[in-house]
Amino acid sequence: MAEFSIIERYFKRTSKSDVSLGIGDDSAIVTPPPSQQLVICADTLVAGRHFPLDTAAHAIGWKSVAVNLSDLAAMGAKPHSILLALSLPTVDHDWLAGFSQGLFDCCDQFGVSLIGGDTTQSAQLTISVTALGWIEQGQAITRAGAQIGDYICVSGQIGDAAFGLQHLGHTLQQRLDYPTPRCHLGQQLKGLASSMIDISDGLAQDLGHILKASDVGAKLQLDQLPIDASLKQLDLQQAWHYALAGGDDYELCFTISPQNFKELSRQQLDVPLTIIGEITQQTGLLFEYMGKAHPLHVHGYQHFA
């Protein structure tokens, strides 16, 4: 089946009104809103590396969009559209139908349009998505900006996806296959959070990026980590490993002043928030358990391990 037939059959849809030119030409044309900045990110998923080979096509389609929207959420941006680069070993119509439906299900839930991309053949299934979003001039939340005394917060639960990966068939596999990008929360944090990142490679490693960019340290309370009941039944070290190093959570980790946290708490939030620590002057990441220092060495996901 020809490339353009695949695009026409599975991926071409009517775009938003501000997309002047979408799928079907050499490039897409989008009209930017006034006084907005363009936020751009890209992620690649490789079969067998970023998802099990037997993952349902619908879940792969959903996740390929969701992980990118999570990056936009981490900047406080409103998602707008995506570009898809799809490399296929073969043309499997059942797989393409499921994949495209999962992709559009995620797009539709978060108000996103597919406006272009590329399709080709390769030995390994590879999906690369570029996501575009908008944010008011100067309002983007970066990794640099954490202040001494800020709370460290996370949304939702952490460790679910890593546990689900090791226990396929468990209900927590749903969190691995269908992550929820916290787009609404990210936008609510504009003007309140001092720094932010999404948790893709493990909380400890990703929080470390904030600490390095902000030139600060952190004290994390292990007994405050928001974990599922399934993890609470495990040995503490194993539960902490899932929560701190497992990755694939796509929750938001952010720093915020106590005053701004009170203001945030008065808003209508669509996901629970947990204070798990505070920013300190001493550099590095320290752990405490039940009020006492608890040395712990954890490493997050390594892309070239």
> What is the rounded average pLDDT of the residues 32-38?
93
pLDDT at residue 265, as a whole number: 95
CB contact at 8 A, 159 and 231 = yes
Does 198 appear as a known binding residue? yes
Whole-number percent of the chain with pLDDT over 90:
80
pLDDT at residue 294, as a whole number: 84
Indicate whether 168 pLDDT > 80.
yes
Choose among 3, 27, 6: nearest CA to 100: 6
Does 24 appear as a known binding residue? no
> What is the rounded average pLDDT of the residues 273-295?
92
Indicate whether 245 pLDDT > 90.
yes
> What is the rounded average pLDDT of the residues 176-197?
98
Indicate whether 304 pLDDT > 70.
no
Give the SS3 label for residue 43.
strand
Indicate whether 1 pLDDT > 80.
no
Does 92 appear as a known binding residue? no
- The end-to-end CA distance of the chain, in Å, is 36
Query: How far is residue 225's CA from residue 203's CA, in Å, rounded to a whole number?
Result: 10
Does 160 appear as a known binding residue? no
Indicate whether 200 pLDDT > 80.
yes
Secondary-structure percent of the chain, ordered helix, strand, coil, rounded to 5: 30, 30, 40
Does 200 appear as a known binding residue? yes
- For residues 189 and 298, which has the higher predicted lDDT (pLDDT)? 189
Indicate whether 303 pLDDT > 80.
no
Residue 99: in which H helix or E strand, if any? helix 93-109
Query: How far is residue 297's CA from residue 217's CA, in Å, rounded to a whole number?
Result: 16
With the CA atoms of 213, 209, 175 and 102 taken in that order, what torsion angle do they form, in degrees rounded to the nearest 10? 60
pLDDT at residue 296, as a whole number: 76
Model confidence pLDDT, tens digit, residues 45-93: 999 888 988 999 999 999 999 999 999 999 999 999 999 999 999 999 9
- For residues 148 and 48, which has the higher predicted lDDT (pLDDT)? 148
Supply the Cα-derived Rg of the chain in whole angstroms. Answer: 20
Domains delineated in the chain: 3-136 (3.30.1330.10), 150-291 (3.90.650.10)
Residue found by looking up tokens 């701190």 in the block:
244
Choose among 262, 264, 199: nearest CA to 226: 199
Task: Output the CA angle 300-197-50, nearest 5 degrees.
Answer: 45
Neighbours of 276 (CB within 10 A): 23
Q: Which residues contact 259 (CB under 8 A, 6 or more apart)?
A: none
Query: How far is residue 261's CA from residue 192's CA, in Å, rounded to a whole number?
Result: 8
Does 94 appear as a known binding residue? no
pLDDT at residue 305, as a whole number: 54
Does 177 appear as a known binding residue? no
Query: How far is residue 199's CA from residue 169's CA, in Å, rounded to a whole number?
Result: 23
The winner for highest mean pLDDT among 20-24, 83-87, 115-119 is 83-87
CB contact at 8 A, 164 and 63 = no
Q: Where is average pLDDT lowest: 108-112, 237-241, 290-294?
A: 290-294
Would the CA dihedral through 251, 254, 258, 262 be positive or negative?
Answer: negative
How much is the pTM?
Answer: 0.92
Query: How far is residue 182's CA from residue 202's CA, in Å, rounded to a whole number?
Result: 16
Indicate whether 40 pLDDT > 60.
yes
- Give how far Cα 204 sits from Cα of 26, 172, 251, 259, Å: 42, 21, 13, 25
pLDDT at residue 293, as a whole number: 87
Does 49 appear as a known binding residue? no
Give the SS3 label for residue 155.
strand
Does 297 appear as a known binding residue? no
pLDDT at residue 282, as a whole number: 87
Does 201 appear as a known binding residue? yes
Does 50 appear as a known binding residue? yes
Indicate whether 300 pLDDT > 60.
no
Does 202 appear as a known binding residue? no
pLDDT at residue 12, as a whole number: 75
Q: Which residues contact 6 (CB under 8 A, 6 or more apart)?
A: 91, 96, 119
How are beta strands 113-121 and 151-155 bridged, if at all? unpaired
pLDDT at residue 50, as a whole number: 86
> What is the rounded average pLDDT of the residues 143-153?
98
